[in-house]
Structures are given as C-alpha cells and as structure tokens.
C-alpha cells in the first residue's frame, strides 16, 4: 500500500506508540496515509481504539515477523 | 463531536504510582481529549524539575516481582530502595517504557494542564522554583470546576 510518511515505533511500549503516532500525524494533511510499525502487542487493540476515537481511518493492519504494521489515513 | 474531558488527581510519588496519571493524561491528550491533572500531597513530587527522587521500594510491597525472594529484614537494609529503583528503571528502559520525564514532556507538549495543589505546596514548604514551569496553582474549588464538566475523573 502507498503511504506518505512512516513512523517506526519498534521497541516502544504503551503509551508511546499511540502518543507518537498522534505526533507523526500532526504535520500531515487530511487524506495522507501514515504507515506505523510497532512491536508492542498492545498496539493492535490500541491503534484501532485510537482510530475510532480520533476519526483517522485504519485502512489496514497486518503482522509480519512479530511486527505490527498499520496504515492510517488522516481525517 | 464534542471534545471529551478527563480530570485526574495524582496523589502518589513513588515510581510505580507516578506512571498511571502520566500515561493516561498523555494518551487522552493524543486522542484529542482536554485533560487536567491536579497534583496533591506526594503527587507533587512528579512536578519537580529533577525526578531522580522518585523511587520504588520493595518494603511493604509484597506484590512486587523480585528476581530472588527477599525477606523483609533484608529489604530494610540501607541502599535496598535505591537498588530496587535502579533495577526497575533498567528493566523499564529495556522494555521500551518511557521515562517519567519523557511522559511529562509529552503531556505538556499536548497541552495537558497541570495544577499544583497550593495547600500541600505550602504544607511541605516547597518552593515554586523547585517545580517545572507552566504550572497553575490552585485548590479544591479550582479542580472541581473542571472536574464537574468531565467525562472521566480519576483519583490515583
């Protein structure tokens, strides 16, 4: 999937993947896509909850080699 | 969608109890919530410029996982608290857990409002110069004004 920006949250524990994803989205424009890579298993549920509450769209979520990959479209 | 609001009363000053208010405040702010944290009694320690004094003690803390079982009479020995704190901080760093300083900065950056309880600042004879900048000072009525409008209100 194409994306405009990437944020690597590997090695970070709760709440940093979410708090820093929000920071990464701050300087993006509406409609742009952010790819987030995380290793915290809690981030799977948290990223969905983050998207639901903020209006950003979680386009896709997958797991590759113990890494969790998210594509978020900025609202 | 109306902005959600959360108010937290932070009353504890040990390493383990310092995390929940800062984690929840920074996360709620990232979700777009308006957040205020009211620091009172030992919670005031979280507002000091230097957070090195925030420690964890195995003493009277039987739920704390220890690498080796440690009888209480060993836990009271000088230096045990510092050692436990060092080990805990080391473990947190290895697991990617943010430092208290980092979480606090993330809160302030996200415009979480920090209020220091004036009564306990005076009680413990703290100087405002010992605390970080950007704080407000107030009492229970200040807190209640915002707390009364919130969706989530926690005492930690």
* Alpha helix positions (H), B1-56: 15-30
By residue range, what is the domain housing residue A54?
A: 5-73
Residue A41's pLDDT is: 93
Residue A1 pLDDT exceeds 90: no
pTM here is 0.92
Q: Break chain B into its structural domains and give their ranges.
A: 5-55+100-155
Residue A10, min C-alpha distance to chain B (Å): 9
Cα(A30)–Cα(B73) distance, integer angstroms = 60
**Residue A40 sits in a domain of what CATH number?**
3.30.110.40
Are A53 and B31 an interchain contact pair (Cβ–Cβ within 8 Å)? yes
Q: How many domains does chain A have?
A: 1
Residue A64's pLDDT is: 93
Give the residues across from B113 on adjacent strands. Answer: B36
Residue B64's pLDDT is: 87
Below-50 pLDDT ranges, chain B: none
Give the Å distances, CA to CA, from B136 to A12, A22, A58: 31, 26, 37
Residue B154's pLDDT is: 97
Are A13 and B26 an interchain contact pair (Cβ–Cβ within 8 Å)? no
B26 contact residues in A (CB cutoff 8 A): 15, 19
Residue B69's pLDDT is: 84
Mean pLDDT across A12-28? 96
Search chain A and give the residue with CA nearest B24. A15
Interface test with A, best of B88, B98, B101 (most A CBs within 10 A): B98
Phi-psi region of B104 (alpha: psi -120 to 50; beta: other; left: phi over 0): alpha
| Mean of pLDDT over chain A | 95
CATH 3.40.1260.10 is the classification of domain B5-55+100-155: yes
Residue B141's pLDDT is: 93
Residue B1's pLDDT is: 64
Cα(B127)–Cα(B130) distance, integer angstroms = 5
A22 contact residues in B (CB cutoff 8 A): 30-31, 110
Search chain A and give the residue with CA nearest B109. A23
Helix (H, G, I), strand (E, B) or coil at B142: helix
Residue A6 pLDDT exceeds 70: yes
B23 contact residues in A (CB cutoff 8 A): 14-15
- Is residue A70 within 8 Å of A5, Cβ to Cβ? no
Give the Å distances, CA to CA, from B10 to A49, A66, B53, B56: 25, 36, 17, 16
B97 contact residues in A (CB cutoff 8 A): 13
B134–A contact, CB cutoff 8 A? no
- Supply the ipTM of this predicted assembly: 0.89
Residue A1, min C-alpha distance to chain B (Å): 25
Which active-site residues of A does the annotation give? 14
């Amino acid at each position: 999937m194409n994306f405009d920006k990437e944020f690597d949250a590997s090695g970070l524990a709760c709440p940093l993947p979410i708090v820093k994803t929000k920071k990464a989205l701050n300087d993006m424009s509406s409609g742009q896509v952010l790819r987030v890579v995380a290793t915290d298993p809690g981030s799977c549920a948290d990223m969905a909850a983050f998207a639901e509450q903020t209006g950003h769209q979680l386009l896709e979520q997958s797991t590759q080699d113990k890494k969790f990959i998210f594509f978020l479209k900025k609202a | 969608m109306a902005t959600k609001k959360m108010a937290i009363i932070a009353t504890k000053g040990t390493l383990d109890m310092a995390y929940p208010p800062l984690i929840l405040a920074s996360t709620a702010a990232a979700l777009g919530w308006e957040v205020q944290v009211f620091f009172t009694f030992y919670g005031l320690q979280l507002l000091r410029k230097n957070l090195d004094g925030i420690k964890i003690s195995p003493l009277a803390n039987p739920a704390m996982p220890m690498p080796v079982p440690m009888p209480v009479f060993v836990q009271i020995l000088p230096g045990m608290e510092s050692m436990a704190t060092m080990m805990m901080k080391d473990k947190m760093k290895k697991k990617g857990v943010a430092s208290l300083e980092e979480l606090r900065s993330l809160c302030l950056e996200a415009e979480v409002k920090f209020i220091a309880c004036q009564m306990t600042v005076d009680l413990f004879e703290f100087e405002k110069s010992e605390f970080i900048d950007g704080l407000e000072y107030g009492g229970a009525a200040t807190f209640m004004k915002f707390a009364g409008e919130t969706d989530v209100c926690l005492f930690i």
